Amino acid sequence: MFALMYIKFMENSYCVICGAPCLLNRKTCSQRCHEIYMAKMEREFGKYKKVVDVVTGKTHKVSIRYILEHGLKWSELKDFPEWEE
Ligand SMILES: [Zn+2]
């Protein structure tokens, strides 16, 4: 849940890695910076996030890369494996 909220606060038009200007709502300016950024996010927040489906009550294991690259819709949650402790 934290990851989804976090994304909303990251809108800017400068590359978060090298500071170069980039398209509005883009986090990075290039594929290279994107990969560095993904590795950094995985290190800081973990490779996977627990995301609870409020309708079914099930907890799913979603990669943070997927969330950052595609965003996450509720309808897609069922396609991710359930989180096992
Ligand atoms: Zn960059």
Phi, psi of 59 (to 5 degrees): -105, 125
Give residue 66's domain range: 2-79
Determine the distance separating the centroid of ligand 1 and the alpha carbon of 31, expressed in angstroms. 8
Q: Tell the burial category of 27 from Cβ atoms under 10 Å away from its Cβ (0-12, 13-18, 19+).
A: buried
Is residue 84 a part of any domain in this protein?
no
Determine the distance separating the centroid of ligand 1 and the alpha carbon of 36, expressed in angstroms. 9
- What value, to the nearest 5°, has the Cα angle with vertex 39 and ends 47 and 8? 75
pLDDT digits (tens, 9 = 90+) for 2-24: 555 555 545 558 899 999 988 77
pTM of the model: 0.72
Is residue 61 a part of any domain in this protein?
yes
Count of helix runs (H) and strand runs (E) in the chain: 3, 2
Tally of structural domains, the chain: 1
Determine the distance separating the centroid of ligand 1 and the alpha carbon of 7, expressed in angstroms. 18
Amino acid at 9: F
Is residue 85 a part of any domain in this protein?
no
pLDDT digits (tens, 9 = 90+) for 14-58: 899 999 988 777 889 999 999 999 999 999 999 999 999 999 999
Amino acid at 13: S
